[in-house]
Amino acid sequence: MPSTGLGLSSRLRYLAYRARRINVGSVWERAREAAAQHGKWTPAIVVDMLFSAGFRQVGFQDYIDYDFAILTGRERATFMTHPFSNQLSQRFDHPDFRHLFQDKIEFDRAFSEHLHREWMVVEPGNADEVRAFTERHGTIVTKEPIGQAGTGVHRYHAADIDDWAAFHRGLHDRGELLIEEVIAQHPDLAAVCPGTVNTTRVTAFFDGERTHILAIAQKFGRGAVSDQMSFGGFYTMLDDDGRAVGPGYDSHGHVHITHPDSGFRIADFQLPMMAEVVAFVDRVARVVPQVQYVGWDIVVTPTGPVLVEGNWGAGVYENKPSVTGIRTGHKARYLAATGLG
């Protein structure tokens, strides 16, 4: 049994799954990019990536994103990785309650009092209600109930809609069944990117009594409906006081010292209302205590934090050493909170 307390059999199953799906060309390309960036030999990087994946629970993208090519073994061991995060999710997020997080409509129902915005469901025959909702708010966001990484999220303006029956029918046929009011973010967030609602990812673990904050990442958009990387977004890690620890970056090799559109210096960012954010995460973590390990996406508004969604497969946000100069990660906090250290 590994020292983490996670089953060897589950690790072997995950390794076998990854081995079946390995894309050799993709691994080589990633290794080549890492070698060029860090002055290493590509074949050596490939071997190291494969060894790390097979014996150190390091995803290929983890290896690239967190600059493992320049880290020592001891430094690497401090970083959270996606395979290990997946094991935490499987162990601590009860299968009978995951659907409350997977389905966005069910999520809004379960966490309604923490959303602090209007929402409705598209159903046959409620075109008039959809029109009234959209005209009342001017701009709306629609979501497909099942989606991740920003997929299935759309934005519409009432002024652009001429045929409301056709609009309603289109939403229903495309599966855009959840409609939400657009969140009005805090001016400190709008100063970085006003065209996107910029979310804060707070990864937390609820042990049944206390909520542990494991890592905090601030995501920034580029004016699109979502701040996810698939929409051009990026992130920076925040410290426990809500201050950025360095520039922004993404999984595509882009580093942003300043925001490309606003010119805001990312390292100067301070998340407002940090104490309120911590208290808010503690409250939402207690709504479904059977799902203990969650990546909470929240937005700070002028009146306080509001909930966007919770991800039972929490994912990983970590330091990028070549950008921040910080050569250690957050894994110790995860191990301590879960009792696996």
Give CATH 3.30.1490.20 domain extents, the chain.
118-181
Q: What is the mean pLDDT of residues 156-168?
A: 98
3-class DSSP state for residue 181?
strand
Query: For the chain, how are helix, strand and coil distributed in percent, rounded to 5?
Result: 40, 20, 40
- C-beta of residue 307 within 8 angstroms of C-beta of residue 294: no
From residue 21, alpha-carbon distances to 16, 224, 230 in Å are 9, 32, 22
pLDDT tens by residue, 11-43: 666 666 665 667 778 889 999 999 999 999 999
- C-beta of residue 51 within 8 angstroms of C-beta of residue 70: no
pTM: 0.92
**Alpha helices in the chain, H assignment, sequence order:** 8-21, 24-38, 42-55, 60-65, 73-76, 82-92, 99-102, 104-110, 127-137, 164-174, 187-190, 274-285, 321-324, 331-338
Give CATH 3.30.470.20 domain extents, the chain.
94-105+185-312
Task: Say which residues have a Cβ less than 8 Å from residue 7's Cβ, sequence separation at least 6.
Answer: 1
pLDDT tens by residue, 140-153: 999 999 976 667 89
Angstrom distance (rounded) from CA 192 to CA 205: 29
Among 264, 210, 245, which residue's Cα sits nearest to residue 317?
Answer: 245
State in words which class domain 94-105+185-312 has.
alpha beta
| Confidence check: pLDDT of 2 > 50 | no
Which residues share a beta bridge with 141?
155, 180
| Domain spanning 118-181: CATH 3.40.50.920 | no
**pLDDT value for 10:** 61
Among 65, 70, 74, which residue's Cα sits nearest to residue 48?
Answer: 70
Quote the DSSP letter at residue 164: H
pLDDT band for position 285 (50/70/90)? very high
